[in-house]
Structure 1
C-alpha cells in the first residue's frame, strides 16, 4: 500500500522546486490560524467603516476637468454668489394662486430659511418677474447658490430635498431641481436598483455554484471569499473617500465586480484544488500545486483587469476615474483574499471541501469528458466552427459604426422623482430650454457686444440682462435660455456657435455645456484608452505565455467580443429593439460614459477567460510539447470552469437588466451580453480553433525574446 508523502516529510528539495506562488500557498496553508486571524482583524476594521460608504461617497464629478464650462462654474461660485450650474432651483407652483399671494410668499420664505441654515448654500435669489416667474404668475423659481463643491451640493440636497418637498400642500407644489438635485435623485434611484439586483443575484449564483461543483462546501467557499472582498472594498472606499472624493458609483461597480471576479477566481482555484487532492491527499501539497498552476492564471487575470482599468484613469472626469478606482480596489482585495485567505481555508478543510456532495459529483473529474469531446470535435472540424463564430461576431460588430453617444437625459430619472417633476413643470411654464440655461461670463467692457451676439444666435430664446459680480471684479454674467431641451442634439451646435462668435473674453458654461464638454472629453480620450488597453493587455499575455503569436490572437479575439457587445448595445439601447420586453424607453443613444468605461470592463472580462483557457493549454504544452494535447486538454480542464464562471457573471449582470432606471439596466445587459458572446463564441470556439490552426507556431518564441522575458511556467513539479 502506498502512502502519500505529507508536507512535513516532503523531500528537502520540495520547497526549492516550488515556485513563488506555490511557496506562498504552502505558507498560507501551514499558518492558517495567523492568516485567518489577520483577515478577521482586517475585516472587522474595514467593516466598521463599510456602513458609511453609501452616505459618504461623492455624488457628483460628472465633468471634464479644465474645460470651459467648469471654468465658468468656478467663476460663478467665486464672483456671483454661487449662481452656478451647481445651484439648487426650487420650483414653486399653484394652479389657484399666484407667486405674489401671501401663501406662496410664505412657502418661499420657509424655503429660504432652510437654505439659510446650511452654510453650503450661497445667496438665495427670489423669483424675478420676466425671468424666473412664469408669464401667468403661477410658477416661480427660487435659486439657492452653491457655496461648496459639486459633491457637497449633491450631499446637501440629499439631506434637504425631503424638507423642501414637504413644503408642498394640497394647493402648492414644491420641487427641488437643477443639476445637484438631478444627481441626487439619479444616484438614489440607481443605488436602490443595484442593491436589489445584487440581492437577487446571490441565490441564483449559489445555485449555479452548487451545480458546477456538486458540493455545498465547495460552492460556498467562493461566496464567502467574495463577501470578504465586498466588506474590505466597502471599508477601503470609505477610508479612501476621506483623502479624495470617490463617486458613489464606484461602490456600485465594485460590488458587482467583487462578486463576479471573486467567484471566478475562487472557482478556478477550488476546482484545481479538488483535482490536486485526488493525486495527493495532503492539503498543503494540494494547495501548493493549485497555487503554482491556477494561482498564476488568477494573478495574471487580476493584473489584466487592473491594467485595463488603469487606462481609464487618464480620462479627466472625476466620476469616471473613481469608478475605475472602486473596481480596482475591489479586484485588489479579491486577489489578496484569493491568494492568502482561500489557500489557508483550503489547507484547513482539506478533503472536507467535498462535503455535502451531490451524487453526480462523486464521479466528477477535473478533466471534463464533455469539453474534451467538444475540443476533439473542434480539432477535427476547425474551419466550419471558426468561420461560423467569426461571421456571427462580425455581423454583431457592424452596428457599432452607427453608434451614437450622449450624456443621459432627464428620462433616466424615475417619473415620480421630484427633480423630474420640477424639470417638466419648468418646461411647461418657461419653455423647453428653461431647465438648462447657458451661463456666459465676460468682462463688463464686452457685456454689450456679448449680449448682442448671443441674442442673434439661432436657438437662443431669451437672454437675461448682464448681472454684475458681487465682489466688484470686472466681470458680468448673462444667462441664455435655449429654445430646445437641454438633451436635444441641437444644443451642441448652439453651444459651438456661441463659443465661436462671442468676444474672446466670454466663457460659456451651464449644465448643458458641462455635459457636452464631458462628452467631448470622453470621445477624445476613447481612442487613447483603447490603444493603451490593447497594448498593455498584449504585453501581459506575452509575458505570461512567452509566445507572441498566441498573445496577439488572444488580444484580438477579446477585441472581437468587445466590439460585438457594443453592436448589440446599439441595437437595443439606441434603436430600441427589445425595449418593450426589457421595460424602457430608448433615448436614441448610448449613455456617454459607456464606450470608455464599458470597453475597459468588457475587455478585462474577456481577457479573464482568455487567461483561464490559455494558461491551461500552456500547462499541457509545457508537459508534452504536443499542440494537439494542449488544445484538447486545455479546453477539457478549463471548459467547465469557464462555463460556470460565465454563468455566474451572466446571472450577476443580467439581474441588473430588471432594474427600472436605465443606467444599471444598460450596464447589466451590455456586460451580460458581452460575457455570453465571449464565453460561447470566443473562448469555447474561436480561440480553441485558433490554437488548432496555428499548432506549434502558437507557442513559438524567438530566442532573443525568451532571454528578455521573465521565466514563467504554468506546470507544477
Structure 2
C-alpha cells in the first residue's frame, strides 16, 4: 500500500523512473533478439538418438550423415568436381562428395557432411552464400532447412508485427477511447523490453530457443492490453463513484489490481509446466511465457496508477456504458432462467468440436515446413519427384562391440527388421565403434520407420551396445519424452490452477469447474488444429503444405496457452462475481452483475489478444502458424461461448453450492487472509453458502 501511495502521489517521478528503466532494458535486453540462436531443441539432449550422433562424431570427427545437399543441373565431371572442391573448402565441412543422379540424369547431387561440433547454422549460411551466384546450383539439405526456418520465422515475426500493430492501435482507440489508448502502448512496450531484459540473463545460464521471441511479443502485447483494459474499466467505474481522487485509484488497485495479480499467477503457473519436458523448445516457451506473464502484471500494476493519477477525470467515459452493461445483465439472467438446458447444449457442442483432436497424428519438423520458394524446400521437392530412394528414411546405428563378429551378428539381425532395406556392411570407425546405415521405407514419421527404430532398439547381442540415430529415431525419442512427462505436466498444471483459484475464491467447486471448462476449450482449439492442418484445409489462405499431421510440441504449447488464457478470463469474471456476492443476498444477481461488469471487457480483451497472438497465423512456417490459430480459436471460444453461456448457466444451476468448501479448508483459507474487494465482507457472504 505504501508503494501504491508513493506512485499516486508522485506520478511524474514514477514516469521518469519508468523511462530510465525502459532505456536500460532496451540497451541491455534488446540484443537478446539476436543472441537467441538455438533453432533446434525438439529432442531431449540425453535421448538415444542424440547420444548416437555424439558417439559417431567422437569416433569420426564428423556428423553421421550429410546435412548439406547441393542439386546441380546438368553438370559434367569437371563442373561437379569444382562444386565439390568449393564445398569441401568451407569451414565446418568435414567431407564433400558427389551423390546420386536424377532418374533422367538431368541433375546430380553433391553431399556435404559437417565436422563434429560445427555450428550447423553458420555452415549452412556460408554454403548458401558461397553458391548464391551459381544459377545451376540449388542449396538444400537438413542443415539449410533449419537455417531457413529460423530466418523465415524472424522475417515473419516482423511482418506479423507490421500487420497486427495498426489493427491493435485502431481497436485500442475504439475500446479504450482517446488518450486512454496510450496506456496499453506504454505497458506493452514496458512488458516486452522488461521480458527481454530478464531473458538476456536467463540466456546466459540456459540457451533459449529463438522461437520464444514470437511468444514474448505476441503474449506480452496481448496480456498488456488485457490487464490495462480491465484496470481502466474498473477505474472508470470508481471515477463515477468517487471522482478523480486517490480513493478511486486505491479501490481500483485493491479490486481489479488484485485480480490482475491472480490472473498473472494462473497464466505463469500453466505455462511454466512446459519446463517439465526435457526439450529445449518447450523449456524455452514455458520459461518465456511465465516470465512475460509476470512482467506484464508488474508493468500494469505500476504504470496504470501513474497514468490514472496524471490523467484523472480525463479518462472518464463520455457515457457510463449502461446500455452495454444492461444487455449483458439481461443476457445473464436469460441464461440462468434455463441453466440446465444451456449448460448441456453448450457442453455438447464443445465436445463435438473437440472430437477431431482425438484422431490427431504427429508429424515432425522437416523440409516440408519450409516455404516453397526457399532453396531447401525446392531441393526436397525435387528429390521426392526426380530421385529414386527419396522416399526412404536413413537410420544410422552407432555400434560398440567387443569384436567384429558380434557386430556382424547385430547387423544380420538388423537386416531382418521389417521395413529395413538391405544396407551397407558395418563400417569400422575406430577400435570399438562401427557405423551401420539402414535405409527404411517411408517418411520418418511413418509407422514403418518408427517401428523399425523400436525393433532395432530391441535387438540384444552379447558384447554389443547399439544406439540408433537419424530423423525417425529423433521423432521416436521426442514422442517418448512427451509421453513420459505428459502426466506430470498435466498434474502440475491442474494442481497449480486449483490451488490459485482456491486461494482466490475459497471454494473447491469453482476451481474444479474451471479446470473442466478449460479442458473443453483446449479440446476445441486442438480440434481446430487437427481439422485444418492434419486434414489439409485452408492451404490457400494460410499458405502451408500439409504433411498429414500436427507437430507435437506445438500441440503442447498451444494447449498450455489456451488453458492459461482460459483461466485468465475466468479469474476476471470470478473475481467480480465474488465481489458482487458480498453486496447482495441473491446468487443470480451477483452472477448477472459480475457478467454485466466484465462481459464487454472480457470479449474486447479476447478480441485484442486474438489479434496479437493470432498474428502467428500469418507466418509462412506451419508449426508457428499452428500456435497462432489454436490460441486465437481458444481465446475467442472461451470469451464468447464459455464465459457468456457455460459459466453463468453453471453458476445459476449450482447457486450457493458454487462456493462450497469443507469447514477445515475454509478455516485455512480464512487464516491466509486473501480477500477480494476493498472491504472485508466475506464473512457475511459466506453465511449464504450451504452448510459445510
- Common fold, TM-score beyond 0.5? yes
Provide the residue aligned with 1:63 in structure 2: 43
- State whether structure 2 residue 495 is matched by structure 1 residue 535: yes
Provide the residue aligned with 1:573 in structure 2: 533
Provide the residue aligned with 2:688 in structure 1: none
Gaps of 5+ in 2: 680-692
Provide the residue aligned with 1:145 in structure 2: 114
Alignment counterpart, residue 95 of structure 2, candidates 122, 125, 128 = 125
* Residue aligned with 1:460, SS: coil
* Residue aligned with 1:714, SS: coil
Provide the residue aligned with 1:212 in structure 2: 175
* 1:541-584 deviation line (CA, Å, top 9, x unaligned): 11110011122112211111111222222222222344455444
| CA distance in 1 between partners of 2:55 and 2:162 (Å) | 44
Alignment counterpart, residue 380 of structure 1, candidates 323, 337, 360 = 337
Provide the residue aligned with 1:429 in structure 2: 387
Q: CA deviation at 1:239?
A: 3.8
- Do the aligned partners of 1:229 and 1:330 also contact (CA within 8 Å) in 2? yes
- Do the aligned partners of 1:89 and 1:143 also contact (CA within 8 Å) in 2? yes
Provide the residue aligned with 2:369 in structure 1: 412
Q: CA deviation at 1:133?
A: 7.2
* 1:388-423 deviation line (CA, Å, top 9, x unaligned): 211211211222222222323422111222222333
- Do the aligned partners of 1:367 and 1:633 also contact (CA within 8 Å) in 2? no
Range with bigger deviation, 483-492 or 680-689: 483-492
RMSD over equivalenced CA pairs, Å: 2.5
Q: CA deviation at 1:473?
A: 4.3
Provide the residue aligned with 1:163 in structure 2: 129
Q: CA deviation at 1:434?
A: 5.7
Q: CA deviation at 1:372?
A: 1.2
Provide the residue aligned with 1:342 in structure 2: 304
Q: CA deviation at 1:343?
A: 1.8
- Do the aligned partners of 2:363 and 2:547 also contact (CA within 8 Å) in 1? no
* 1:432-488 deviation line (CA, Å, top 9, x unaligned): 24674434333353332233223333323352343333xx44111122222323343
- State whether structure 2 residue 303 is matched by structure 1 residue 323: no
- Do the aligned partners of 2:444 and 2:475 also contact (CA within 8 Å) in 1? no
- State whether structure 2 residue 438 is matched by structure 1 residue 480: yes
* 1:662-687 deviation line (CA, Å, top 9, x unaligned): 12322221111111211122111111
Provide the residue aligned with 2:685 in structure 1: none
| CA distance in 2 between partners of 1:228 and 1:527 (Å) | 36
- State whether structure 2 residue 163 is matched by structure 1 residue 193: no
- State whether structure 2 residue 355 is matched by structure 1 residue 398: yes
Range with bigger deviation, 597-606 or 230-239: 230-239
- State whether structure 2 residue 81 is matched by structure 1 residue 105: yes
| CA distance in 2 between partners of 1:663 and 1:191 (Å) | 14
| CA distance in 2 between partners of 1:439 and 1:680 (Å) | 53
Q: CA deviation at 1:283?
A: 4.1
Gaps of 5+ in 1: 1-21, 116-120
Provide the residue aligned with 1:621 in structure 2: 581
- Do the aligned partners of 2:84 and 2:110 also contact (CA within 8 Å) in 1? no
Range with bigger deviation, 703-712 or 318-327: 703-712
- State whether structure 2 residue 207 is matched by structure 1 residue 228: no
Provide the residue aligned with 2:270 in structure 1: 308
Alignment counterpart, residue 667 of structure 1, candidates 616, 627, 634 = 627
User: Cα 1:521–1:448, aligned 2, differ >3 Å: closer, same or farther?
Assistant: same
- State whether structure 2 residue 25 is matched by structure 1 residue 46: yes
Provide the residue aligned with 1:19 in structure 2: none
Please give the residue correspondences for 1:494-509 in structure 2 after superposition, counting only pairs within 5 Å: 494-501=452-459, 503=461, 504-509=464-469
Provide the residue aligned with 2:684 in structure 1: none
Instruction: Give me the TM-score of the superposition, normalised by structure 2.
Output: 0.91
Range with bigger deviation, 336-345 or 308-317: 336-345
* 1:145-173 deviation line (CA, Å, top 9, x unaligned): 24337xx423x14642431332623xx31
Please give the residue correspondences for 1:251-290 in structure 2 after superposition, counting only pairs within 5 Å: 251-290=213-252
Alignment counterpart, residue 294 of structure 2, candidates 311, 327, 332 = 332
Provide the residue aligned with 1:295 in structure 2: 257
Provide the residue aligned with 1:118 in structure 2: none
Q: CA deviation at 1:317?
A: 0.5
| CA distance in 1 between partners of 2:648 and 2:300 (Å) | 27
| CA distance in 1 between partners of 2:127 and 2:33 (Å) | 17
Range with bigger deviation, 629-638 or 494-503: 494-503
User: Cα 1:473–1:47, aligned 2, differ >3 Å: closer, same or farther?
Assistant: farther
User: Cα 1:401–1:510, aligned 2, differ >3 Å: closer, same or farther?
Assistant: same
User: Cα 1:697–1:47, aligned 2, differ >3 Å: closer, same or farther?
Assistant: same
- State whether structure 2 residue 685 is matched by structure 1 residue 716: no
User: Cα 1:585–1:416, aligned 2, differ >3 Å: closer, same or farther?
Assistant: closer
- Do the aligned partners of 2:576 and 2:594 also contact (CA within 8 Å) in 1? yes
- Do the aligned partners of 1:164 and 1:174 also contact (CA within 8 Å) in 2? no
User: Cα 1:165–1:281, aligned 2, differ >3 Å: closer, same or farther?
Assistant: farther
- Do the aligned partners of 1:454 and 1:498 also contact (CA within 8 Å) in 2? yes
Range with bigger deviation, 676-685 or 645-654: 645-654
| CA distance in 1 between partners of 2:652 and 2:370 (Å) | 50
| CA distance in 2 between partners of 1:644 and 1:66 (Å) | 45
Q: CA deviation at 1:366?
A: 10
* Number of corresponding residues: 670
Range with bigger deviation, 516-525 or 687-696: 516-525
| CA distance in 2 between partners of 1:707 and 1:473 (Å) | 70
| CA distance in 1 between partners of 2:216 and 2:587 (Å) | 39
| CA distance in 2 between partners of 1:391 and 1:24 (Å) | 48
* 1:245-295 deviation line (CA, Å, top 9, x unaligned): 100011111111101111111111111112112222244322211110011
Provide the residue aligned with 1:182 in structure 2: 145
Alignment counterpart, residue 633 of structure 1, candidates 587, 593, 598 = 593
User: Cα 1:550–1:440, aligned 2, differ >3 Å: closer, same or farther?
Assistant: same
